[in-house]
Amino acid sequence: MKFVRYGSPRHHEIVARNTFRRRNVIDKVTHIVEDVRLNGDQALLRYTRKFDKVTLQPKEIRVSENEINACYEGIKPEFIASLKAAIENVTKYYANRVKKKPCKLKSDDGALLMERARPLDSVGVYVPAGTVPLISTVYMTVIPAREAGVENIYIVTPPNRHKSVDPHILVAAHLLKVKAVFKAGGAQAIAALAFGTKTIPKVDKIIGPGNMYVAEAKRQVFGYCDIDMIAGPTELAVIANDYADPAYVAADIMAQSEHNGGVSFLITTSKRLANFIRKIPARGYVLKVKNMGQAIDLVNEIAPEHLEIMVKRPERLLKSVKNAGAVFLGPYSPTAVGDYIAGPSHVLPTNGSARFFSGLSVSDFIKTSHVISFSRKALERVRQPAEYLAGLEGLKKHQESIRIRFQ
């Protein structure tokens, strides 16, 4: 960990931490996305051979019922129990989030203004497949979509060298009643979801984490469909003072360093804690501040994905936190509990985007239509200003479309 003082030039450089898009990544992804758009499954299978070193036939892209049934054979009962506990907690949280009623206004003269909320029809979830299965990504993305009412949820994930998908991922997808799982990864999988192929359906929205190629592909297809966000490396900020247990702080920062590219920020008033943490082998920075006011200012500048507050009364500081994807209060709320089982999704804004993005929620899967119904009396009430404003904009036929109803 590198030591940095509050207000120093290095402090401002760290806070900025822009992740610059690499030209070679942009060009490669552009070529892949366009190829899949034009050539569908043919291009998808070609890139699967090239990047995943797996040769599939078109009929093998979709995981079959036999593969799903077979995956249960090697699964330990402890996994099913743990998975069901996580699913229960996450479902309980998001089921409670859908109870808000849409806006509805009525006037005495017959005007009705309201929002009509409808879930998206289809969502594609990207589940990375590296050295270990990211099982938590399945339920942390699928459940909010499901609770919002999305009927068609699909998963894309790269196949392994045996031309299969990790059984833990398939069990999670099966228990959550995912519509289909497809063996496809990288930018080509994102393009397939955005444009559709003979095998993979076109979706309304793509969500889920991935490497720089996946992130760039999501950026490029945005507009053809929606996306959740363009995620960068994961990050953790910890506000702590002498009250904090150094072992807890160190453990959480080391846990963050397990992620590829993960970075941590310790923001502390404690010289003892700063000296302890700066010696641990983790990627990140120790930022020494004079008081908690400076600590909060620094956090709001950084706008971290995860924020842990390890002081005696963390809820007092929470009131001043403006920018953070998820906030963890007190010594027994490690980021890891939010990653797996607490309830809210671990899909969160990174790289400072917590200033304007939120964590994944049911609202990300719901669209609204404005409903407007006027009686003749209600229209007459707004006729004069509406006609006047249309005239100012030079739209005479707009004026006439109102005026004709009173002739």
Tell me which residues are annotated as active site: 305-306
CB 187 within 8 A of CB 32: yes
- Rounded to whole angstroms, the maximal C-alpha distance in the chain is 83
Amino acid letter at 94? Y
196 Ramachandran zone, left/alpha/beta (phi>0; psi -120 to 50): left
| Alpha helices for 116-211 (secondary structure H) | 135-148, 167-175, 186-195
3-state secondary structure of 268: strand
* Token representation of residue 326: 């998820």
- Helix (H) or strand (E) holding 118, with range, is strand 112-119
Neighbours of 308 (CB within 10 A): 30
Order of all β-strands in the sheet with 205-207 = 180-183, 152-157, 122-126, 205-207, 226-227
Quote the Cα angle for 340-342-348, to 5°: 70
Q: Which helix (H) or strand (E) holds 4?
A: strand 2-5
**φ, ψ for residue 60 (rounded to 5)?**
-95, -5
Instruction: Quickly list H helices, 52-113.
Output: 65-71, 77-97
Neighbours of 12 (CB within 10 A): 11
User: 64, 75 in Cβ contact below 8 A?
Assistant: no
Residue 154: in which H helix or E strand, if any? Answer: strand 152-157
Other C-beta atoms within 10 Å of 400: how many? 13
> Phi first, then psi: what are they for 238, rounded to 5°?
-125, 120
Characterise 394 by phi-psi region: left (phi > 0), alpha (psi -120 to 50), beta (else). Answer: left
Token pair for 6: 């509050």
